Chains A and B, each alone.
Chain A
Amino acid sequence: MTDVIAGANAPRRKLTAALMQRVSSGLHLGLLRYGDRLPSTRTLAREFSVDPRVVLASYRSLEARGIVELRARSGIYVAAPAASGKASAPIESAWLIDVLADAMGHGVPALDFSERVRRSMQTLRLRATVLECNDDQLFSVSDELKADYGLDVSIVDIDSMNGDLPVEARQADCVVTTAAHAEEGRQTAQQLGVPSLVLSMCDDLFAEVERLLQLEEVYFVVTDTRFEAKLKRIFQDIPGSHNLRVLINGHDDLDSIPVTAPAYLTRLTRRNIGAAPLLQRVIPEARVFNDSSIRMVLDFVVNANLEVMRARA
C-alpha cells in the first residue's frame, strides 16, 4: 500500500488535495455555493499540467467523499451537503478498507479497531492551557481543541497575564499557543513542567486569501481589535495587501460587504453574529489547525494515553 501511495498515485493525491482545498476555501469565503459548476477536467489539466484522466480520477475521488457531483454530459458541480441533514461527510470506503486491513496487519481485529483508537485518545481527560493575545484566536483554538480532541481548556489572554497564571490554568497537561507567542508558550510550559505545543493555522485558506488579494478586496470579520491589527501585520508585505478589509463585528457595518466579495468570519464572530445574511453565504470551516499541527496535538494526546495504558497494564 505504501508503494502505491508513494508511486503511481502521487500526482493524483496531490491534485485531489489541491482541488479539495480549493472547493472548501471557496465555500468558506463565500465564493462558491453548493451546486455551483466547477472547472472542466480539460481546463484543470492545462492549469496543473497533468493528464485529463488524472483530473477525472481526482474528481471521482472527491465524488466518493461527497464533495462534488459528476453529472453525465453536463459537468462537475459542488455537491449539496449530506442529504441526511447530519453534517458528516461520508467515509470513502476504499480508504476505510485500507485502514482496517492495515489494522489487521498490526494485530488489531477490524471490529475492535475503533474502540482501540478511542481508548488511545480518551482514556485520559487531558487539560490544555491556551495562550493568545486576542479573543478571536483564543476562541478558535480552544473551540477546536475541545470539540475535536476532547481536551478541557482554560484560556489565558497574554496581555493580561502579568507573569501570573490563574489556578486552573496551572493544572494543565500542556500549553498551547500559536507561532507568534512560541516564546511565551515555551516559558509557561517550562514553569509548569509540561510540554508546549506551538500550532499553525490552516495555511491553505491563508494561501487562497493571498492569491485573491492580488485580484480583489477580501473581507475579514473579527471580534477583537487586536486580531485586526495582527491580520494587517500578517498580510502587510504581500502584493495586494491594500485590498485587505478587516471589519469589527459590532462596530463596523457588515452590510457594506459586497455580496460577491470573498469574506471570512472568525469562529467567535460567527457565534456572536446571530442571523445575518452574511452567514448564509459563507460556510464555516471545519477546522483551523494545519496538518502538522493536527499531528502535533494527536501525538501529544495519543502518547499521553498510551503511557497511562501501559502503566496500568
Chain B
Amino acid sequence: MAKHIELAEVLRQRFFSGMHLGLLRPGARLPSARELEVELKFDRRTILRAYRKLEREGLVELKQRSGIYFSESAPWLPGLTPPAEWAVDVVAQAIAAGIPPSQFADRFQQYLSHRRLRALCVECNGDQLESLCAEMTSDYGFETDGADVDQLLDESTPRDELRQADLIVTTQFHAGEVKELSSRVNRPWIAVTLRTDIYSEIARLLPSGDVYFVVTDVRYAKKLERIFHSLRGGDRFHALVIGCDEVSIIPDAAPVYITRAARPRLEDEKLLQRVMPEERTFSLASAREILTLLIGSNIAALKAPSS
C-alpha cells in the first residue's frame, strides 16, 4: 500500500477516536505536517499527500497560510455520504460488471436483505452485549437476540433463540464457550474481533492524563480495568459504572468514552453532547466474515425456486 494511503488511514482513525472521546470537534485545528513529521516519522511530503487525500474525502480542510482543520461540514458524518471519488469508482466497477447505475441500489439491497437472518449475540456483560446486538441490527440487518454466556452454558435444553440462530455472535473472549454452544445446536458462529483504535488511542493518552470510560455493567468495568491497569499510566484509567459511580467527577476537558448501553441511561446532557457516539466497533476482517455469510445466504435464497 502506498505510504500516504497508509498514513491517511492512521490519521482518519485518530480523528474519529478523537471525536468519540470528545477531544476533537468540527472546525478544530489539527497538528501541522511538521508536528506529525516528528511524531510519526513520515516525511513531510507524505504527510501532506495524506492530508490532501483526507481533504478530498471532506474530512479535513487545508487553509492557505493558516493550517489544517477538522472539517465543519464533514460529508462523512452519520446520514450523509461516502467520498465522491470512491463512489464513482464503485459505480464504474458495477457498470463493468453489467449493473447499470439506475439498478445499482436495488441490486445491492437484494443481495443483503432478500432474506432476513437471525443472530444470537452472546457475551458476559450488558455493555458489550448491547453493542453487538445494535451493530448486527443496524449495519447488517439481522434480527437479534442477546443472551448471557454463562446462562446459556447452564441450560440443559438449548433455548429457541440458540437453535434457530442463523449466526451466533460473540467476541474473542468467549470464542471457546460459544464454539461449544454452537456445536450443541449445530449452528454457525463467529467470534468478532473489535476495532482497536479507541483502545490504542486511550493507551496513547494515558501517560499524559486521566481517561474516563462510562459503562453500565460492573463486569465490563472490571474487564477494562484488567486491560488498562497493566499499561504505562494505567492508574489514570477510570471505568465508571452508571448507578454506582458519580459521573459528575469527570473534568470538562478530559477524554471520555461512553458505551452504547450507557448513553440512554446517562442523564448528564453536557457530557453526552461533547462526545460523538461510536457506531461501528467490529474490525474490517469481522465485517467481511459477516458479509460473506449474509450475502451467501441471500444468494442461495435468490437462486432457490420461489414457493
Q: Chain A interface (Cβ within 8 Å of chain B)?
A: 2-3, 65, 88-93, 95-97, 99-111, 113-121, 147-150, 286-287, 291, 294-295, 298-299, 302-303, 306, 309-310, 313
With both beta carbons as reference points, the residue of chain A lying nearest to B141 in the complex is identified as A111
28 interchain pairs, CB-CB under 8 A: A2-B1, A3-B1, A88-B99, A89-B97, A89-B99, A93-B296, A93-B299, A96-B291, A101-B291, A102-B86, A104-B282, A106-B83, A107-B280, A109-B280, A110-B140, A113-B108, A115-B109, A117-B104, A120-B81, A150-B102, A287-B100, A291-B96, A298-B87, A302-B87, A303-B84, A306-B75, A309-B80, A313-B77
CA distance A105 to B283 in the complex (A): 9
Q: Is B95 an interface residue (CB 8 A)?
A: yes
Q: Which of A3, A103, A121, A295 contacts B82 (CB 8 A)?
A: A103
Among A2, A96, A302, the residue within 8 A (CB) of B108 is A96
| B55-69 near A? 1/0 per residue, CB < 8 Å | 001100000000000
B81: chain A residues within 8 A (beta carbon):
116, 119-120, 306, 309
* Chain B residues proximal to chain A, CB less than 8 Å: 1, 5, 16, 57-58, 73, 75-77, 80-84, 86-88, 90-93, 95-109, 111-113, 138-141, 279-280, 282, 284, 287-288, 291-292, 294-296, 299
B293 to chain A, nearest CB (A): 10
Give 4 closest A-B pairs by Cβ, nearest first.
A89-B98, A118-B105, A109-B139, A114-B108
**Contact pick for B287, options A104, A114, A116, A286, CB 8 Å:** A104
A153 to B83 Cα, complex, angstroms: 27
Among A88, A96, A99, A299, the one with the most B-chain Cβ atoms within 10 Å of its Cβ is A96
Which of B87, B112, B288 makes the CB contact (< 8 A) with A101? B288
Q: Give A94's nearest chain B residue, CB to CB.
A: B292
Bound Cα distance from A306 to B81, whole angstroms: 8
How long is the Cα–Cα vector from A116 to B87 in the complex, in angstroms?
9
> In angstroms, how far is the closest chain B Cβ from the Cβ of A5?
11
Evaluate contact between B140 and A111: CB separation under 8 angstroms.
yes
- The number of inter-chain residue pairs (CB within 8 angstroms) is 158
Chain B residues within 8 Å of A99, by CB: 90, 93
- Contact check, A91 vs B97: say whether CB atoms are below 8 A apart: yes
Q: Give the residue among A2, A111, A149 with the most B Cβ atoms within 10 A.
A: A111
B90–A117 touching, CB < 8 Å: yes
Which of chain A's residues have a CB closer than 8 A to the CB of B83? 106
Cβ distance A156 to chain B, nearest Cβ, rounded Å = 24
Cα(A91)–Cα(B109), bound, Å = 12
Assess whether B138 is in contact with A111, with CB atoms less than 8 Å apart.
yes
B92 touches A97 (CB 8 A): no
B73 CB → nearest A CB, Å: 6
Report Cα–Cα, A119/B82, bound state, in Å.
10
Q: Which of A93, A147, A150 has the most CB of B within 10 A?
A: A93
**B90 contacts across to A, CB distance below 8 A:** 99, 102, 117
CB-defined contacts of A309 to chain B, threshold 8 Å? 75, 80-81
**Given A88-B107, A96-B108, A302-B84, also A2-B102 (CB < 8 A):** no
A65-B97, A117-B91, A148-B95 given; A111·B139 CB < 8 A: yes
A60 to B58, CA, bound (A): 39
Do B73 and A121 touch across chains, with their CB atoms under 8 A apart? no
A123 and chain B: residue at smallest CB distance: B81
Tell whether, in the assembled complex, residue B111 and residue A110 are in contact, meaning their CB atoms are under 8 Å apart.
no
Distance A295 CA – B92 CA, assembled complex (angstroms): 6
